[in-house]
Amino acid sequence: MASEPVNVNEFQELARQVLPKMYYDYYSGGAEDQFTLKENVEAFRKITLRPRVLVDVSRINMSTTILGYKVSAPIMIAPSAMHQLAHPEGEVATARAAAASNTIMILSYNSTCTVEEVASSCNAIRFFQLYIHKRRDISAQMVQRAEKNGYKAIVLTVDVPRLGRREADIKNKMVAPQLKNFEGLISTALDSDEGSNLEAVARATYDDSLCWEDVIGWLKSITNLPILVKGILTHEDARKAVEVGVAGIVVSNHGARQLNYTPATISVLEEVIQAVGGKVPVLFDGGIRRGTDVFKALALGAQAVLVGRPVIYGLAANGEDGVRKVMKMLKDELELTMALSGCPSVKDITRSHVRTECDRLRSML
């Protein structure tokens, strides 16, 4: 009998064993030759910890608040598409696991369960991810449905004017299923000469003419929910986001699925933090596989981290229980890292607890 996973990384192999190759490749793959996909994880290894000793860590408090909502730990569930390709219960199972973990799930715009099904599945705080459709009325309907069903924020993904080139999906002839949220509104029955129809669907669907003032102003005109932008990698865009009045920023390169050779997100987190200057909360997305990764992101200024692929791998391996185990492993590892680093609470984690490559270079000058 195979042994139970002892860390989050081991769920990836379990998912690979149970998923059809097409779906595993869809979830695990990145853009082009996947340089950034590897860097998202590898960059964490270049950051070392600077623990403090002889600190009372008999009680560790990992709780924090996100936009005023209390969570048990600064670890949220990132928006990722089409969970029913990983498990029949799809996003409903993920939502229940998030509720059991007392954390926030961001439901994907491209979920296979409807906004209403996820909302009625359990009592929890949820945010809704949004893309802007070429037909604004479709996006407006989704925002209104999310607001009506108790979602607490809109997370606008801004790094997909076009879909990145995902070569595994092209080779596998990956075809997007019809999503229940859009029945009667959008068809995925589009052919593509390249094999996969995902790029053709995205090109027909997403508005690639968006600009800052237009889209944020329009969103504010149709909802009272706070608006976060996901996909920020530079200080220029971080400042622009603050200028147009967003409620928060998610540092993200879309799981390295869009533009290859963008930097690992952990390597630009501090740049964004400094540009924002505390005006809005900054969340972090990309490459989280260990509690030490969470700790490093918090030390560099993130208010919380988002976890994507590990949640999918847990879902594929064992449904709701698999997602619960992934979240518990990360929380347990974070708690241990905090104790061994001399940080009894999240607010005790500071920049002085980590040493980056830039720190090392500066010390040599």
Is 96 assigned a ligand-binding role in the annotation? no
Strand 227-232 and strand 154-157: pairing? parallel
Instruction: Confirm or deny that 278 is annotated as ligand binding.
Output: no
Contacts 24+ apart (CB under 8 A), 15-23: 15/86, 15/312, 15/313, 15/314, 15/316, 15/317, 18/316, 18/317, 19/85, 19/86, 19/316, 21/172, 22/172, 22/173, 22/174, 23/85, 23/86
- Whether 205 has a binding-site annotation, put simply, is no
345 annotated as a binding-site residue? no
**Does 69 show up as a binding residue in the annotation?**
no
Selected catalytic residue, list 83, 87, 254, 353: 254
Active site residue 235: no
Give CA–CA dist 311/97, Å, rounded: 10
Do β-strands 154-157 and 69-71 pair in parallel, antiparallel, or remain unpaired? unpaired
Q: Tell me if 81 is assigned to a ligand binding site.
A: yes
255 in a labelled binding site:
no
Q: Is 252 annotated for ligand binding?
A: yes
Q: Structure tokens of 297?
A: 């992101």
Tell whether 26 is in a known binding site.
yes
Question: Is 309 within any annotated ligand binding site?
Answer: yes
285 appears as a binding residue in the annotation? yes
Q: Is 231 annotated as a binding residue?
A: no
For residue 319, say whether it is annotated as part of any ligand binding site: no
CA atoms within 13 Å, Cβ hemisphere of 84: 15
Q: HSE, CB side, 13 Å, CA atoms: give it for residue 1.
A: 3
Q: Distance between CA 296 and CA 349 in Å, rounded?
A: 9
287 labeled binding residue: yes
Q: Is 80 annotated as a binding residue?
A: yes
- Residue numbering of the annotated binding site for glyoxylate: 26, 131, 166, 254, 257
- Residue numbering of the annotated binding site for FMN: 79-81, 108, 129, 157, 230, 252, 285-289, 308-309
- Residue numbering of the annotated binding site: 26, 79-81, 108, 129, 131, 157, 166, 230, 252, 254, 257, 285-289, 308-309
Q: Catalytic residues, which ones?
A: 254
